[in-house]
Every structure is written in structure tokens, then in C-alpha cells.
Amino acid sequence: MTDHTTLSHLELETPEKPFLDANELVINMGPQHPATHGVLRVILRLDGEKVLGLECVIGYLHRGVEKIGEHRTYTMFNPYVDRMDYVAAVSNGLGYCETVEKLLNVEAPPRAQHVRVILTELNRIASHQLWLGTHALDIGAITPLFYTFRDREEILKIYEKYCGARLTTHAFRIGGLQYETYNGFEREVNNFLTFFRPKIDEYEELLTTNRIWVERTKNVGRISAEDCIALGVSGPVLRASGVKWDLRKAQPYANYKNFEFDIPIGENGDTYDRYLVRMAEMRQSVRIIEQAVAALPEGPIIAKVPKVMKPPAGEVYHSIEAPKGELGYFIVSDGSTQPYRVRVRPPSFVNLQALDLMCRGQLVADVIAVIGTLDIVLGEVDR
């Protein structure tokens, strides 16, 4: 009898109301997810496996860097900026030091500028290596991770010998450098370049024509040049969509105007093109470092800067081409020893905004590929 009632009950309900009548499914990804490159939480709206839209929830790594800046002197704040994009700490330091130098109206001497370019470009390579290794790992290729980390180690060794730190280097000082290069610095950098050039080919051999890699990246996460510009996207993501824009060329800082290099661009603005652009950028960085080492001038390494820095009241915005895109600092000075306001314009934060657009219509697995290809660092997104 019980069976009978249950059955008729079922029969009554089934035809009108299907078991799963919603064709929209909301699921949560992260923040503790190995493929989100840190603590990124994404709320996905799905139709089956197709992404209808998503929302990023960020801030899990928020440390209030900008607030800390207002409570430290200009010199004391310098090491803090390394903790934002911690895989490109040298670039962060360069941006900050140059901005404060602008406020103080001093310029680093030529030797310091050259060393800065060498270390920053090495950092670009290191950052792209980390991106490549983890991005490939997310998509399912394990080998590149071991290759890139093995080779990245050589760059970290140079940093370690130069300033004693490998990751958060605090390599530069306001006005120039604190340390003279160590004995054999040029030789070791050159050795690294000789060692590294064939390694890029090695990475490319693993991936560029690899059927699985191409299938997983071609036409995935496409974004047009117009959308990039509207969303304020910068860096390799913008260039892969065909916009030939690089701050090192457009508004040269440090002494980039002395070096010859090209701006690699893509056509389709998909994950594969962004991969190609970053690979080409590593080669260009090698070119820049080569020229900078060959022309390394003698001379002082730090300009005359006061021990107690009190930039005249005023404000300045300065930005550099960090490995992830335009990294800007907006500093307001009130004439005291501490900045009145430090604003960091992080490339990852602004680029991450494009994730929603890039993932629409794609599959869930592609979301992972797109997060990887955006090359975000959550330390910088959340600050």
C-alpha cells in the first residue's frame, strides 16, 4: 500500500516537474583552490559545463599596504612594495623608487640605472617562468614546471649574491642602489644568458606545437583589443590582442631608451597568443640584459639624496611596465617625512576584471586556463 502511494505520487510529479529543472547552476570555486594561484574565489554561473558569467571575490590577502605607506617614512616603505607582486619584487621596487625620485627631483646615476635594468629584466624572465610553469601545470602539462623552476633558480642565485635575498629582494634604494655589484656579476649574468637562451627553445619544444596544449589554449579566453582598452587591461594580455603598447617604449623610464628591443604582439587575443607573447618577451629581455651588461658604465651607484627625505609638497603619478602590465604609483607628499597618500595601481587587479568577459561561453576547465593566462598574483590584487 505504501509502495503504491509513493509510486502514484511520483508518477504525478514526474511529467510536470523534471528532477532538475534549473538550467542555471551556481557553484563556488576557491578561495582554497590550487589552480586559482592563491586565494581567489570565483562564483561561477553555469549552464551544464558552460560558463554564463562569474564574479570574483577578492581581498583575502588584503594587508592594507596603502595604509601602511602613510605611516612609514619614504625609505621604510620601500621593502613593503616587494610584498605585493612577490614574484616580481624587483619591478615593484623600481616603480616605487622612481616615483619617489621624481618627487625629490633626483635621478639615479647611469651605473645604477643599468644595474636596475639588468635586475628588472631578469625579474621579468623569472616572473614569466613562474607563470609558464604554473599555467602549464594547471592545464595538465607537468614537465614545464620542473624546467622553469630549475632555470629560475639561476636568476634567484644572482639576486641572492647581489643583495642576500631571493624573493623579496629590496634591491633598489631611493636614488640608486645600496650595493655595488659583486665580483663576477657581469660574468655570471652573461653565463646565465648563454645558459638560458636554449632553454626557451626547450620550453617551446614542449608546448608550442604540442597538440594538447594547442587544443587547450587556442581560441580560449579570447578578448578583443577594444575590450582590453575599455577594461584598462595592460601588459602581455593587451599586447596579445594586437595593441603594440609597452611603457618601456611609449614612455621610457629608467634608461630603456638606450636599448634595442621589439614589442612582441599577438593577433587573436587568445590564451595561445598570450603564451607566445610572453615567450617572445623573455627573448627580448635577454636582448636587453645583454646590451645593458655590455655597456655597464663605471661611476657612482647612488645619487645625492638626503638621509631624511622630505619631498616638497605635491603629487606625482609614475608607472612602469611590470611583467604583468602597468604598475603605477601615485604619491602625495605634504612635505613631511611620510607620504600623505600612497596609491598603488596594480596591473593584476585591473586585469582580473576582464576574467568575467573572457570566460563567458567557455567551459569550466577553461576558467582555469584563463586565470593562468591572466598571470595574476593575489598579493598584488589584494595588496
Partner 1 sequence: MIAKLKGSYGSGLEAVTYLGQNYMVVDRSMIPEILYVLRNEEQFDYCVDITAVHYPQREKQFDLIWVLYSYARNERIRVKTQIADGDSPASSVPIWAAANWLEREVFDMFGIKFEGHPDMKRILLPEGWKGHPLRKDYGILQQDNEWVQINMGIESGQ
Residue 73 CA to residue 70 CA, distance in Å, equals 8
- The x, y and z cell numbers of residue 253, run together, are 623610464
Which part of the chain contacts partner 1 (CB under 8 A), choosing from 3-11, 285-293, 335-343, 361-369? 335-343
Q: Is residue 350 close enough to count as binding partner 1 by CB under 8 A?
A: yes
**Any contact of residue 68 with partner 1 (CB under 8 A)?**
yes
Q: Taking CB under 8 A as the criterion, which residues in 126-155 touch partner 1?
A: none
Closest distance between partner 1 and the C-beta of residue 112, in Å? 20
166 is a site residue for partner 1 (CB under 8 A): no
Choice between 252 and 300, CB closer to partner 1: 252
Binds partner 1 (CB under 8 A): choice among 28, 178, 194, 251: 251
Annotate each residue in 6-45 with x if it binds partner 1 (CB under 8 A) or - if it does not, as one string: ----------------------------------------
Contacts of 191 (CB under 8 A, 6+ apart): none
Q: Which of 323, 317, 320, 318 minimizes the C-alpha distance to 351?
A: 323
Least distance in angstroms from the C-beta of 125 to partner 1: 26
CA distance 333 to 271: 41
Instruction: Check binding of 360 to partner 1 (CB under 8 A).
Output: no
Q: Which of 71, 157, 187, 197 binds partner 1 (CB under 8 A)?
A: 71
Cell 647611469 maps to which residue? 110
Phi, psi (deg, nearest 5) at residue 378: -65, -25
Q: Three cell numbers at 132?
A: 609558464
Residue choice 88, 89, 103, 376 for contact with partner 1 (CB under 8 A)? 103
Is residue 330 part of the contact set for partner 1 (CB under 8 A)? yes
Q: How far is the CB of 66 from partner 1 (least distance, A)?
A: 6
Is residue 161 close enough to count as binding partner 1 by CB under 8 A? no
State which residue, 218 or 345, has the beta carbon closest to partner 1: 345
Query: Which is closer to partner 1, CB of 251 or CB of 336?
Result: 251
182 binds partner 1 (CB under 8 A): no
Q: How far is the CB of 248 from partner 1 (least distance, A)?
A: 13
Residues contacting residue 231 through CB under 8 Å, at least 6 positions apart: 350, 353, 354, 357
d(CA 247, CA 252): 6
Q: Candidates 37, 102, 170, 274: give the one binding partner 1 (CB under 8 A).
A: 102
Q: Verify binding: residue 335, partner 1, rule CB under 8 A.
A: no
CA atoms within 13 A on the CB side of 150: 11
Which residue, 188 or 382, is less far from partner 1 as judged by CB? 382
| Candidate residues 82, 121, 154, 382; the one interacting with partner 1 per rule CB under 8 A | 382
Residue 82 found at the interface with partner 1 (CB under 8 A): no
Q: Which of residues 188-247 bind partner 1 (CB under 8 A)?
A: 227, 229-232, 243, 245
- Does the protein bind partner 1 through residue 297 (CB under 8 A)? no
User: Before 300, cis peptide (omega within 30)?
Assistant: no
For partner 1, which is the closer residue by CB, 94 or 381? 381
**Where does this chain bind partner 1 (CB under 8 A)?**
58-59, 62, 64, 66-68, 70-71, 102-103, 105, 227, 229-232, 243, 245, 250-251, 314-317, 319, 326, 328, 330, 332, 340-341, 343, 345, 349-350, 352-353, 382-383
